[in-house]
Amino acid sequence: MRICKSMLALGVAALTVALSSNAYAGKADDTLNWASSREVAVVDPYYNNTRMLVIMGQMGWDGLVFRDIKSGEFKPLLAKSWEWSGDKAIEFELRDDVKFHDGTAFDADDVVYTLNHVSNKENGVLTYRNVSWIENAEKLGPHKVRVNLKKPFPPAFAYLANAVAMLPSGHYENVPKKPDGKKDYAAAKPVGTGPYKVAEIKAGEFVLMEKNDAYFADSPKGKPQIGKIRFRTIKEMNTGIAELLTGGLDWIWDVPKEQAERMGSHPSVTVENAKTFRVSYMAFDVLGQSGQEFFKDKRVRQAISHAIDRASISKNLVGPASVVIPSACHPDQFGCSQDVPTYAYDPAKAKALLKEAGYENGFEFDLYAYREREFTEAVIGDLAKIGVKAKLNFMQYRALRDVVRKGKTPINHMTWGSYSIPDVSAIVSNFFTHGPDDLTKDPQMKEFLNVADNSIDPAKRQEFYKKAFDRIASEAYWLPMFTYAKYYAWSKDLDFSPTPDEIPRFYATKWK
């Protein structure tokens, strides 16, 4: 009866949306509407680092190179060709037939301006690690540049393909100033060279992108097929599902497992569970900065790790494409060692460790999270079984990120998508090299990762990454949880296929 009642409620919601909403999605008016619960106020690939902007970034902006998701091969995009000059510089020959959305021609000046702006730490790009390896760029000719690296950086092309978008020269020069007198780079009007251009933004509600008819024909991204693509913020999943069923939306994701399974038989939609590059993890306050010092004791961290039934959460809540992970990385990333100390689900062992640490009667603490509340509630339920009571503080991502960086979270349950970079430097080196997200400040970790991140020898990189992952696991700095698997749902009119890097390629999507 529970499923029948749920379907009835969903049907009522769908009817309500059909009667009251302004449904403008679909093949008929050549507008693909997609939605997420997350808001977008800033449309800039460097000053908004949410997953929504990673997706929009691939539609609106191009990089120098393109990574083929099927083969893993790097192909020319804005660059026609390249060659290494030693191990700390790359020279690029650029295309001479590309225009930005504002009609200006793309050339070497744009590359030099972009890379020199974003690699300057004072300019405050949000994910500085994506560009911190760049020393500078210099012009060698109208369509030729040299990118100088601070030191050898083996995954350079993975970052150039996924996280380094080209902007027109002078792009940020005329932005307004913030109250503190600093330039508000996030206020710059979006301009790229990509297959879609930003047409309209209504902060917190929608972003409308339109097909770039002047997009170069032989781009590996292909010519865009759909006229308009509109991102909408829809806070409630039931509303999103109802809009999909009634034609107000064409595509949604992050559909809860139970609802996705019920939708699977609906004649107007396709539902699929697909793996992603995102992982779930729990990070402990090992330094005791939060004021709740329980997790300074490794035995307590190990007890928590044994208390959580990760396999059950993965199987019953996430989806069939999800797997439990032993290491603080995604199994598909280069250097992700799986052979590390592990913490099997064992409540009895967890209780014994708590007793040994002096907490036989358990304790209460604050647990912080921002995503898929039901996953964290399952964690809280497991902890209650060993006498540990967690008070949930559920926040928006940006607010939680700031709280984490201030060291105020005893445990934070968060996720990381590595910006879809297929190299472990995009995750472990973000969290364990004494940067703002590092809650351990372990000098040995920094030493291991300094070698691994900068060696041009793949075997040496793997050796030192393994040392790092072994230490994370043995010290229980993190409890790696599981890989994310998203339930996607989209209109039967849409020719779409999910990809494992969590970047839906709307520029390659078309109507049937």
Model pLDDT, residue 25: 62
Query: Are the CB atoms for 485 and 257 separated by under 8 Å?
Result: no
Tracing tokens 């693909």 back to the chain, one arrives at 32
Q: What is the pLDDT of residues 332-373, one digit of tens each?
A: 999 999 999 999 999 999 999 999 999 999 999 999 999 999
Cα–Cα distance, 35 to 45 (Å, whole number): 19
**Tens-digit pLDDT profile for residues 187-202:** 999 999 999 999 999 9
User: In the predicted model, is pLDDT for residue 1 greater than 60?
Assistant: no
Residues 400-437 as b or e (16 or more Cβ within 10 Å = b): bbebbeeebbbbbbbbbbbbbbbbbbbbbbbbbbeeeb
pTM of the model as a whole? 0.82
Q: What kind of fold does domain 65-162 have according to CATH?
A: Dipeptide-binding Protein; domain 1 (3.90.76)
In tens, the pLDDT along 24-60 reads 568 999 999 999 998 999 999 999 989 999 999 999 9
State the pLDDT at residue 26: 82
Residue 289 has pLDDT above 80, yes or no: yes
Residue 72 Cα distances to 190, 242, 423, 473, angstroms: 29, 37, 12, 29
Q: Is 492 in contact with 512 (CB distance < 8 Å)?
A: yes
Identify whether the C-beta of residue 326 lies closer than 8 Å to the C-beta of residue 340.
Answer: yes
Structure tokens at 324: 């439990």
What would the CATH number be for the domain defined by 2-57+184-272+487-511? 3.40.190.10
pLDDT digits (tens, 9 = 90+) for 398-433: 999 999 999 999 999 999 999 889 999 999 999 999
**pLDDT for 364-389, tens place per residue?**
999 999 999 999 999 999 999 999 99
Pairing state of beta strands 228-233 and 251-252?
unpaired
- Residues pairing with 254 in the sheet: none
Domain ranges of the chain: 2-57+184-272+487-511, 65-162, 276-485
Mean pLDDT score of the chain? 94
Residue 23 has pLDDT above 50, yes or no: no
- What is the structure's pLDDT at 311? 98
For the domain bounded by 276-485, which CATH number is listed? 3.10.105.10
Residues 134-143 have a mean pLDDT of: 98
pLDDT at 14 over 90: no
